[in-house]
Amino acid sequence: MLIALLFLASGRNTEESDEISYSTFLQEIEDGTITAFQFDNTTYEITGTRTDDTSFTSTAFTDFSESDRSLFDRKGVDYKPETPTTNWLIGLIPLFLPFMIIIGFFWWMARRQQSQMGGIMSIGRSKAKTYSSERPGTTFADVAGYESVKKEITEVVDFLKNPGKFAEIGARIPKGVLLVGPPGTGKTLIARAVAGEAGVPFLSVTGSDFMEMFVGVGASRVRDLFNEARKMGRAIIFVDEIDSIGRKRGAGLGGGHDEREQTLNQMLSEMDGFEATEGIVMMAATNRPDILDSALLRPGRFDRQVVVPLPELDDRKEILKVHIKHKKVADDVEIDVIARGTPGMSGADLANLVNEAALYAVRNGEEKIHASHFDMARDRVIMGVKRDSLVMSEKEREMTAYHEAGHALCAALLPDYDPLHKVTIIPTGMALGVTMTLPEEDRHSLRRSHALDMIVMMLGGRNAESLVFGVVSSGAGDDLQKATQLARRMVSEWGMSEKVGPMAFGASGPVFLGDDMMQSREYSENTAELIDLETQRILTEQEERCHDLLSTNRTALNLIARNLLEHETLSGAEVNRLISVANGDLGSPAAGMPQTAASTSSTTPLSGN
């Protein structure tokens, strides 16, 4: 209709014409200038062309009189009275427009109801995303380190690519592979690499996708997921965060969750229905294997568990190379040094560390990332953000300096403790000051002597305040909590107490994750009292040991505290130099010691005021 109206409008005569009065019009007829014209009986509009081919328009305001008509006849003027008619298409528009609006409204309502019904009917369908060989994405080359993990996963990929090679010697590939590890270690990344390497369809779904407000939807989606995989022949099904639907059945208050348990039951029956020749392998990832149902972990289902641990030194080097690859890095950055300085960090932590270093480089106006930026980024990740806006009184600042000096002195003098990295009285994170030590190598177990040294170091701040000021402050609250927790674990979990003996009394977890609500404690009241007494004895003995250590080195304590008040931050090397000066091994400390020193080692235990 719009096109027709535009067409009709464009067909009108748009030629410019002269507007003349009616008397002038009659005069020009008398003069013979006008020999023909058209007359509109409705609007009384006169239009025409003169003998010199110029157009004109005029208005009669009424019909022609008898004298006017006789003039036209006498001059032989050819005039055509016209009564214009409305275009039939334009006339139909007002008639059909309401009907068209009503029809359009009912059509829209029908489409809306159809989409809603379609959504309800498809609610039981699987929400899995399918990845085929035409969409490679991530490969094993993008997964740095974890060679043992990739080797086990590669066997699954090889089985799906070349099943005949395994069938020749009668080998049976595991039907389910469970990736277990702490958060951030790259379990989902490894699964994406399998999707890129497999060359077979890869179905990816999260555990929460099975749960819905309607009863039975989870089980229906599990059935649809496996039916879809069977239609593809050989395929891999990956369920991320499987602990959301695979928790122990009947555990916790109320007897469990019926909908989740029905979903788990359907998944168990589908995995049991597999045949060895079907070529369908199920993969899953979780960081809570302790709460998974035992039926899910038995042979024939998830019968192979692949542990994805925190990366070791060599793995951290490879991970850092991947994250540094596309960043502008200066020549003074050594990946080996950064890797040694980040024990206990996961792949996600290392990615965050590199990004924080890049942000520091941008803030400082640098064009490349330098080693100092990595040091600042590591301090921020481990200790927190510096609170420069916090203003402390001189008395509180002095007490904080002695508190941190006590921590630093104990860390530097204890023989089995990690090397001191940095001590500062700048408010950082939630603490007024921080003392940080860095291990020289990755540690996988904790000796009793090292645990006792850790307690001494934690109590160093409290004892320094008591030794110098004769009082203790609330700044040692976090230290006491950590020291008590460590001493209790030594007694109740690690068998490091002679009176308690080689017995382990694990801490009771939340009742919602356990098998029985009454399974809260497995020892008597006498044993509980003995554990408390042994914990108190360890803390008391180590506090006496810490007090003797600080009293013997009181000169070094005062020297470290004064330099902290002057420079606010000291490196481990500077603290060791001050201890040597206090013991008379070196001369007096040089004036204007640098505020901080670049670190080459790594992360970990810190003590804050």
Segment 282-288 shows an average pLDDT of: 85
Query: CATH says 394-608 is which class?
Result: mainly alpha
| pLDDT tier at 94, thresholds 50, 70, 90 | confident
% of the chain beyond a pLDDT of 90? 3
Write down the domain spans for the chain: 17-82, 129-307, 313-383, 394-608
Give the pLDDT confidence score for residue 501 in this predicted structure.
83
| pLDDT tier at 165, thresholds 50, 70, 90 | confident
Segment 503-526 shows an average pLDDT of: 58
Q: Under CATH, which architecture does the 129-307 domain have?
A: 3-Layer(aba) Sandwich (3.40)
Residue with the larger pLDDT of the pair 386 and 423 = 423
| pLDDT tier at 608, thresholds 50, 70, 90 | low
Q: Which of 413, 439, 416, 403 is nearest to 548 (CA)?
A: 413
Segment 340-347 shows an average pLDDT of: 79
% of the chain beyond a pLDDT of 70? 78
- Highest-confidence segment of 47-61, 200-214, 500-514: 47-61
**Active site (catalytic) residues:** 404
- Whether pLDDT at 571 is above 80: yes
Give the pLDDT confidence score for residue 131 in this predicted structure.
55
3-state secondary structure 482-530: HHHHHHHHHHHCCCCCCCCCCCCCCCCCCCCCCCCCCCCCCCCHHHHHH
Segment 237-241 shows an average pLDDT of: 83
Are residues 578 and 566 in contact, defined by beta-carbon separation less than 8 angstroms? no
- Whether pLDDT at 265 is above 50: yes
Q: Nearest 5°: CA angle at 508, between 520 and 501?
A: 100
C-alpha span between 453 and 449 (Å, rounded): 6
Average pLDDT, the chain: 76
Residue with the larger pLDDT of the pair 108 and 520 = 108
- Whether pLDDT at 175 is above 60: yes
Q: Which of 429, 397, 392 is nearest to 564 (CA)?
A: 397
Are residues 603 and 341 in contact, defined by beta-carbon separation less than 8 angstroms? yes
Give the pLDDT confidence score for residue 484 in this predicted structure.
92
Give the pLDDT confidence score for residue 539 in this predicted structure.
92
Whether domain 313-383 has CATH 1.10.3720.10: the reply is no
- Whether pLDDT at 121 is above 60: no
- Whether pLDDT at 523 is above 80: no
Bridge partner list, 79: 37
**Going by DSSP bridges, is the β-strand pair 606-608/434-437 parallel, antiparallel, or unpaired?**
antiparallel
CATH of 17-82, one of 3.40.50.720, 3.30.720.210, 3.30.70.270, 3.30.1490.20: 3.30.720.210
**By three-state DSSP, how is residue 607 classified?**
strand
- Whether pLDDT at 328 is above 80: yes
